[in-house]
Structure 1
Amino acid sequence: MASVMTASNNDSAAAAGPSKHHSRASHPDAAAAAAAAAVRRSRPCDACRRRKSKCVTEDGNSMCVLCKFHNQTCTYLEAPQPRKRNANSSGSGPTTAADSQTPAKRSRTLLLKPGTGVEEYDTLPGSLLRCTLGLQNRHHSEYIGLNAIPDVYSSPNLDASAAPNQDSQAQHDYVRFVHPSHAFRIIADDQTEGYDQGRTDVDEIEALASGHGGELVQLYFRVVHPSFPILHKDVYLEKYARSYREFSPPLLAAVYLLASSYWTYDEQLSRSPMIDTVALQALAFRTLQNAMRRPKLSTVQAGLLLSQWQKAFMGAANENRDRLTVQLVNMGHGLGLHLDCSHWELPEWEIGLRRRIGWALYMQDKWTALLESRPTLISADDWDVADLSELDFPENVEDDQEGSGEVERGRLVFTYMAHLSVILAEILRTIFSARARRLLDGAADRLAALLEWMKPLQLSLKEWFLTLPESLRMDTAASMKLSSVGYLRLAYLTVEVCLHKKLLRTLNNTSSTSLTIAHVCRAAASERFTNGTDFVQRLQAQHLHSFWYFPSAKCCALIHTLGQTLGQTASSEEEQAMYSRKLKELKWSLKVNSEAGASFMKQALALINQSVRIINQVGETSPTTTSSASHELRFPGHDTCTPEQSHAQPQAQQWMQLQQQAMQNGHVAYNAYQDYSMDQAPFPDPDAMFAGYPSELDGTWMHHQR
């Protein structure tokens, strides 16, 4: 039976590591020099102060780690500047009561004995990695549940001295408590299969970088990281300055891969031949499977980054991203990423990092569930991660080099994407879950039931949209900077598209629906389709070349399928021809944009052009394509019905308070650079265009963005 060794807390100052101040020298000049050096080491250098980064100086070096990495002078000439904080600016995002009570800086003291659960980082002077839990170098951690054996929560005094094991050969479970209610088992990496292969793999990855590793790392943090901030820049650069061998092989490969997409954005790289990304991709995914035997935060980071590498998911079906998501969520649970770590005994930077990784994992789970039609893996009852706040994003200095991403805008995009994913989770549960589908199929009036379910969801989407700050408008990118706002806007449009695709499908399967109801639902769906097509058509270079979140290709394809559905159920040849023309325009825009830098749109075209064969009941196959608009689909509202049926007031009409007349769908225009707007000229009375329509369904609230 294995015994348990616990890492107890005490008040020893040993956890703070060696003192930064040396003993006073006997010679006056030496004393003055020592005092000056002590003062310099007690505050950040000028570059780190401007970058608002932790200044780390290794013993024996006069330059800090970051200045050494950037090959710049390390000086202490500038006086400290007062901290500026504008919590009420339009770019700060939505705040909650909890946010308003958050102090300017979280303060915590770590009381850990040196050497307990953290190997050489414990005694590494000035390192950010001291006392880390999730990024240990030679150990990994595993969350201990309440029903684990031995029960470490009910027996807090368990340790080797209190319960010695008679068998000297018995192995111990080393346990680290980060909170009275949360503990982790600390496991040595060399006890796992494939550990020795890691050193060979990381050397092979570095060799594939062909001596350009440093440039690729800087390029990654210039372009990718601001839009998808799941790494800690200072921690990564600190480790890279010491040795690339400190990294998990798949994380190093993932950073190199994503940075290689912007190869020409670096002057030095643009003069060199491109690295072998095919070999690097194969090595990245192979080493990821090996690293999963020793799960760390870096393993989840690598998986999340590799999920963004679009080229890896354009092949056979067995390369589906949902399989990787299952593995990542499982690892996240084992690392405690689904829990609130706000009060854990961890370094401050790791608390913010865990929160960002946790929300990135949550986002991937929800969007994979939507686009792959899979059950969501993270339930609301087991998700206890605090909302993202400004304190969770320590990197806030913009890179002035042209072609860089915008740090502050990227933080807002990431935060609002997390908020949108929470709404998406409710949509998945309410509309697309297996239970919801069964309840809808059994409803007496399926259309009325669906509209009732959609009402609070549309209200949530409306509130989310109206709280978007001005800095997240499509036309606010800084000069010569890349803007990742596009993927957030596309994600929002996709949620709307999926809801109205479901509405059209239910409408089509309803036996008798009034003409007014049919036109209302189709007008709302048509607006979403037009918004989506105009969005794609009006993207500019700063959007196309920026980072795009992994579901973007399928999001574009879903916009196309909504247009197909509208065209297939059109009530006239003219309307069908209109949708056919818009679909061709959309495909043309995708083609042009893909050649202009948005490579994910090439994948969207492949999805759109994919043909399928439907097997009929007699075992034969008939070819059909997803782009065909020749199917004979019944259009609800055009069936013959009795006067009593025509003037009936079903529940859906009562909720929508419609006027009993057919309304024409006018020309809908989406201005991707200003706001959601509608050209109301075709209507004789613009004010009455959507009179009687619920604004949550027709989308008029999208026209008043701040």
Structure 2
Amino acid sequence: MSDYSGRASVSTNSGVQSASTTEDTIMTPEEGSAHVVSPAIADDDLVFREYLSNEPPTLGRCMIRSHATVIQSSSAKARPIMFHIVPKRGQREIESRRLAQSHLIALEELLDPYNQDLIDLFFAKVNICFPIFDEEMFRRTYTTNKESMSPSLLCHLYGNSLTYWRSSPRLHTQPCPEQRSAWLQAEDAMNAEWRCTSGISTIISIILNLCGRPSSHHLGNGAMLGMAVALANSFGLNRDPSHWNSSPSEKRFRIRIWWLLVIYDVWSSLAYGTPPHIHHSQCDVPAPIAEDILGTSASSDRMAATDCFVALIALTEVLSHCLEHVYKLESFVTDTDLRPDLDSFLVIWEDSLPTDELRRSVLRGTRLNAPGTANLRLAYLSVRLLICRSRLNHDNSSKDDIDSHHNIQARRVCEDIVHLVQELDEVSLADFWIPLNAHALTSATTFLMRTALRSKGSVRNPSLKLARTMIDTLQWYRRQYEWDMAENCIANCSDILDKIELVCNAVDQYPAELDLSFLEGFDFAAIDTYQC
């Protein structure tokens, strides 16, 4: 079987044989992986087929060579897509596969007898909000053909599940295995599989790695994300499969995996301050709809989580438009030009939220108990904050004016983020969170501290109080619930906030000029990744 579900077998006079099943995407390739061929060569192949093939060229499914296939959209303007099989690497492939399998065995021995519980926990906590797998297909393959599944994929699935150990009724009374050891085994398994022929299972392993918490290795995450995008382009995931000769489940799977990559690419760009890898002009994959993810039957929780996921995809597109302004190297656009576009994108997204319950949760911050809603609320506020700060940084007249409209708007969004954090309960803290959203907490806190430093009197005190509330609340969550999303903000802001409070309180008590000498050499930009 192949990792690439769109690869067809060698054609016969009667047509192309059926493509492999969706299960192949979580297994290791037996023959090799399908790789996109240059568009120029694909065009040449169309000419050859017209003259050499026994079938009419309008069918767009026959092949003239072994292990290659051309897939063509029904649209006359669509560029044909040709794939070629990259063969496996012989003995090196066998040895690397064996090494990856050994890491999976070691991890499962560490987790025994809770392996199946962790699978259940993954689908209850992660997959419901971030639908990587078709649960029924995964469980069937795991039960009947586990030895053919990617060891790296399974290791990373286990690693993700350990984050939610405390929320499992069966597991929370047992000591949780050390997460660091689990992630080391997962990364070693991935390194071993990288020496094999890569497939879509490799991309899924990377997505699971990026989902992993706690997340701290920014450079490593960025490198893996770049590799995943490169592989996705190689496997044609950036192209619309709607008219391909594949099963509906395969088409839905390819679309879903592509958009999971887009989500991580765009939100990583916001969090890490690096331009996105994926560009609109180089992909034409339609966004998934809720019906394609849910299937025929679903619980109310799953329906709510799917609505959140579809809304997150749409919000990711809004953020992508915002980041085009952030990373534009030409002369900055004026504030007048910037404001209508970005604001209107966000307003359209707000109006597109499918249910009243979701609108109340995301826009007002009420009833954040449905799976994924708290994460979506924080993501929404982070986009609002980015837009406010973009306008502020492009308007030189108000940048240093603490009472300007743009500054006030940005402070209000930061206040909303602080209030969101305050209102989280144990259920929300144990819910699914994209690790990249932790940077929104840091951005809000740094902006509040910056405002306090540049202001006097009535503005300074509320900003300092909000920043202190954020840090105190996050420290409590980390101690009481081991909430790793708090770590980035605490590590980057706690000490500097103590110093700012000390100086500001002294100035309020004794009329004197504010002494900021202790901030000399301190790099705010290094911790404020949302600077535009």
Confirm or deny a common fold (TM above 0.5).
Answer: yes
| Partner deviation per Cα, 1:75-133 (whole Å, 9 max, x = no partner) | xxxxxxxxxxxxxxxxxxxxxxxxxxxxxxxxxxxx6426xx75xx7xxxxxx64xx67
Q: TM-score, normalised by structure 2?
A: 0.79
Given candidates 496, 502, 505, the residue that maps to 2:390 is 502
Q: Which residue of 1 aligns with 2:506?
A: none
Q: Is the 8 A contact 1:6 1:177 kept in 2?
A: no
3-state SS, counterpart of residue 176 of structure 2: coil
**C-alpha contact 1:341 1:351 (8 A) present in aligned 2:** yes
1:383 maps to 283
Contact 1:396 1:408 in 2 (8 A): no
Label 1:451 to 1:569 Cα distance change in 2 as closer, same or farther (>3 A).
farther
The match for 1:412 is 307
More helix by share: 2
State the distance in 1 between where 2:16 and 2:177 align: 44
Q: How far apart are 1:270 and its partner, in Å?
A: 4.1
Match among 194, 197, 205 for residue 104 of structure 2: 205
Secondary structure at 1:498's aligned position in 2?
helix
Among candidates 5, 10, 15, match of residue 7 of structure 1: 10
Alpha-carbon distance between aligned partners in 2 of 1:326 and 1:226, rounded to the nearest angstrom: 26
AA matched with 1:341: P
Compute the displacement of 1:258 (Å): 1.0
1:420-569 aligned at under 5 Å gives the runs: 420-429=315-324, 431-435=325-329, 438-440=330-332, 449-468=334-353, 469-472=355-358, 473-474=360-361, 475-476=366-367, 483-507=371-395, 509-510=396-397, 519-569=404-454
Structure 1 residue 224 and structure 2 residue 134: aligned?
no
| Amino acid of the structure 1 residue aligned with 2:233 | H
Q: Per-residue deviation at 1:227?
A: 0.6
SS at match of 1:299: helix
Do the aligned partners of residues 6 and 268 (structure 1) sit closer, same or farther apart at CA in structure 2, a change above 3 Å counting?
A: closer
| Letter of the 2:417 counterpart | G
Match of 1:685 in 2: none
Indicate conservation of the 8 Å contact 2:190/2:205, yes or no. Answer: yes
Confirm whether residue 144 of structure 1 aligns to residue 37 of structure 2: yes
* Residue 354 (structure 1) shift: 0.9
CA drift at 1:339: 0.8
1:650-679 alpha-carbon deviations (Å, 9 max, x no partner): xxxxxxxxxxxxxxxxxxxxxxxxxxxxxx
Shift of 1:149: 8.3
One-letter amino acid matched to 1:204: H
CA separation of 1:596/1:418 partners in 2, compared to 1, >3 Å: closer, same or farther? same
Tell me what 1:189 maps to: 88
The letter of the residue matching 1:426 is H
Q: Where does residue 462 of structure 2 map in the other structure? A: 578
Cα distance in 2 for residues equivalent to 1:584 and 1:531: 14
**C-alpha deviations, 1:197-249, integer Å up to 9, x for none?**
22342243133223332221122111111011011212211210123322112
Give the match for residue 88 of structure 1: none
Q: What is the alpha-carbon distance in structure 1 between the residues aligned to residue 190 and residue 9 of structure 2?
A: 30
Distance 1:217 1:204, change over 3 A: same
Please say if residues 203 and 245 of structure 1, whose CA atoms lie closer than 8 Å, have aligned partners that are also in contact: no
The aligned runs of 1:60-75 (5 Å cut-off) are none
Q: Does 1:624 align with 2:519?
A: no
Structure 1 unpaired stretches of 5+: 12-110, 122-127, 162-171, 401-405, 444-448, 613-620, 628-706
Paired position in structure 1 for 2:150: 248
1:118-160 CA-partner distances (Å, limit 9, x unpaired): 5xx7xxxxxx64xx67866413221223134894343238999
The residue type equivalent to 1:502 in the other structure is S
Q: Residue 295 of structure 1: SS of its match in structure 2?
A: coil
Paired position in structure 1 for 2:472: 588
Cα shift at 1:608: 2.6
- Per-residue CA deviation, residues 43-96 of structure 1 (Å, 9 max, x unaligned), is xxxxxxxxxxxxxxxxxxxxxxxxxxxxxxxxxxxxxxxxxxxxxxxxxxxxxx
- Report Cα offsets for 1:523-551 as digits up to 9, x if no partner: 22222121111111111222111010121
Q: Using the TM superposition, give the Cα deviation of residue 261 of structure 1 relative to its aligned residue in structure 2, in angstroms.
A: 1.6
Instruction: Compare CA radii of gyration and give the structure with the larger one.
Output: 1
1:242-301 deviation per Cα after TM superposition (whole angstroms, max 9, x unaligned) = 233221122101111111122244444445543343232122223324434523222111
Partner Cα separation in structure 2 for residue 200 and residue 158 of structure 1: 48
Structure 2: which 5+ residue stretches go unaligned? 1-7, 55-64, 74-79, 498-518, 526-532
1:175 to 68, 72, 76: 68
Structure 1 residue 477 displacement after superposition: 5.9
**Structure 2 match to 1:56:** none
Provide the rounded CA distance (Å) in 1 between the counterparts of 2:127 and 2:115.
16
TM-score (norm 1): 0.61
Q: CA deviation at 1:392?
A: 2.3
Label 1:289 to 1:310 Cα distance change in 2 as closer, same or farther (>3 A).
same
Name the CA shift for 1:477/1:610 in 2 (closer, same or farther; >3 Å). Answer: closer
State whether residues 610 and 625 of structure 1, in contact with CA within 8 Å, keep that contact through their aligned partners in structure 2.
no
Q: CA RMSD in A?
A: 3.4
Q: 1:607 to 1:338 in 2, by over 3 A?
A: farther
- Contact 2:343/2:387 (<8 A) preserved: no
CA contact (8 A) 2:155 2:189 kept: no
Give aligned-pair identity as a percent: 17
User: Any idea what SS the aligned residue of 1:202 has?
Assistant: helix
1:425 shift after superposition: 1.1
1:282 to 156, 172, 184: 184
Q: 3-state DSSP class of the match of 2:83?
A: strand
Q: Secondary structure at the match of 2:404?
A: helix
In the alignment, the residues of structure 2 paired with residue 230 and residue 554 of structure 1 have an alpha-carbon distance, to the nearest angstrom, of 23
Decide whether aligned partners of structure 1 residues 521 and 144 sit closer, same or farther in structure 2, where only a CA change above 3 A counts: same
Evaluate the alpha carbon distance shift between residue 544 and residue 136 of structure 1 in structure 2; reply closer, same or farther with a 3 A threshold. same
Aligned counterpart, 1:155: 48
Relative to 1, partners in 2 of residues 1:136 and 1:184: Cα closer, same or farther, differing over 3 Å?
farther
Corresponding residue of 2:486: 601
d(CA) in 2 for partners of 1:609 and 1:512?
25
Query: Does the 8 A contact of 1:340 with 1:386 survive in 2?
Result: yes
> Is 2:144 the partner of 1:259?
no
Q: 1:318/1:528 Cα in 2 relative to 1: closer, same or farther (>3 Å)?
A: closer
Which residue number corresponds to residue 23 of structure 1?
none
Deviation (angstroms), 1:584? 0.4
Distance 1:194 1:268 in 2: 39
Structure 2 residue aligned with 1:92: none
**For 2:92 and 2:444, how far apart are their aligned partners in 1?**
45
Assess, with a 3 A threshold, how the Cα gap between structure 1 residues 221 and 206 changes in structure 2: closer, same or farther: farther
Structure 2 residue identity aligned to 1:534:
H
**AA aligned opposite 2:101:** V
Conserved in 2, the CA contact under 8 Å of 1:178 and 1:346? no
What CA deviation, in whole Å up to 9, does each residue of 1:485-511 have, x standing for no partner? Answer: 11111111111112222333344x449
In the alignment, the residues of structure 1 paired with residue 91 and residue 342 of structure 2 have an alpha-carbon distance, to the nearest angstrom, of 46
CA contact (8 A) 1:201 1:249 kept: yes
In the alignment, structure 1 residue 297 sits paired with structure 2 residue 200: yes
Please tell me whether the aligned partners of residues 255 and 285 of structure 2 are also in contact (alpha carbons under 8 angstroms): yes
Partners of 2:368 and 2:409 in 1: CA distance: 30
* Structure 2: distance between partners of 1:623 and 1:278: 34
